[in-house]
Amino acid sequence: ELCLFPVPSEFTPADVREMCSEHGVLVAESDITIVQHETNARMGANIRLPSEVLALARRVIHGVTWHGQAVTALPAVELKVKTEVLRRVRATLRALRGPVKGFRSFHNFMFETSMDDPTAKRQLLHCAGGDFITDVRVGEEEDWLGEWTSLTFSATDFGPQQLRRMLGALVAVTRGTEELSYIERCFDTVVMPAPAAPAESIFLDSVDWGTSSRGVDWRSEAHVNSVTMESVRAMIVSRVTTEARQLWEAFLARLDSGLTRQHLSDELASAATEGDV
């Protein structure tokens, strides 16, 4: 099956068949089922296609603009895997945010701090996962740059390396290197610094200073143009996907080699030095 989304809620299999036909993919209405996508609750369509046609259909339909929105086309098996990845991402984000109100110590997500250090007391105001995992390709040859998604963290401020280490811990859990309980252990008294993800993947997306005393938003007073903002954001995202790929590959290799258990290796080495093994 080939899964397409989003599909306008009022559309029928006939509408999907017509769109496919416009792009050279011939399919019968009886082979199209309108469904609700479980990850983001958007409507989609499942299309039964012969295996020899599936790859071609995906290539010609994926990314086309349909009623103002870009269509995502994925084989059902791939969609299932990506849905599970996003489920893990969102579960980990909930664990990182923790209680809705109140501060807690992010000492294992910051550089050389302890649980009792007042500077480690932080609160995440909001964190969210990207809508979906995208397959990034560039150039006329469509060189593959991997599959990417985006995460958003907001707070009144962040401590040294806090974002990098939260991101590193999230990737460790999502990848299966650690269980979800690893996040809660990072908030415990034990010193076990979370691995720091590549800094090249992190950028400041927005700043909210509220409104001025005259009730005017600071963006308008600073002459910040929304079109320019989106253009700069797109440029940054493009640089991240091209320049950070190798750094991520190296980071993932270190995760697979036990990076999240480095504190245990350090303890063992220290004990061996002191003859306490």
Instruction: Measure the N-to-C terminal CA separation of the chain; round to a whole number of Å.
Output: 57
pLDDT over 90 (residue 17): yes
Q: What span, in angstroms and rounded, lies between the C-alpha atoms of 211 and 220?
A: 10
Q: Kindly state whether residues 150 and 268 are assigned to the same domain.
A: yes
Q: 109-132: per-residue pLDDT in tens? A: 998 888 999 999 999 988 988 766
In the listed set 25, 52, 79, which residue is the last one of a domain according to the structure? 79
Strand pairing partners for 91? none
Q: Kindly state whether residues 169 and 74 are assigned to the same domain.
A: no
Q: 127-141: per-residue pLDDT in tens? A: 988 766 676 665 555
Assess contact for 18 and 56: CB atoms under 8 A: no
Return the CATH number at 33. Answer: 3.30.70.330
Return the CATH number at 154. Answer: 3.30.70.660
Q: 210-233: per-residue pLDDT in tens? A: 655 566 666 777 777 778 888 888
Does residue 61 lie within any of the structural domains? yes
Assess contact for 96 and 128: CB atoms under 8 A: no
Q: What span, in angstroms and rounded, lies between the C-alpha atoms of 267 and 271?
A: 6
pLDDT tier at 91, thresholds 50, 70, 90 = very high
Q: Kindly state whether residues 117 and 36 are assigned to the same domain.
A: no
Q: 40-79: per-residue pLDDT in tens? A: 567 889 999 998 889 889 989 988 999 888 888 888 888 8
Q: Kindly state whether residues 128 and 247 are assigned to the same domain.
A: yes
Task: Note down the domain range covering 201.
Answer: 98-207+225-273
Q: What does the CA dihedral 206, 212, 214, 216 come to, rounded to 10 degrees?
A: 0
Does residue 194 lie within any of the structural domains? yes
pLDDT over 80 (residue 3): yes
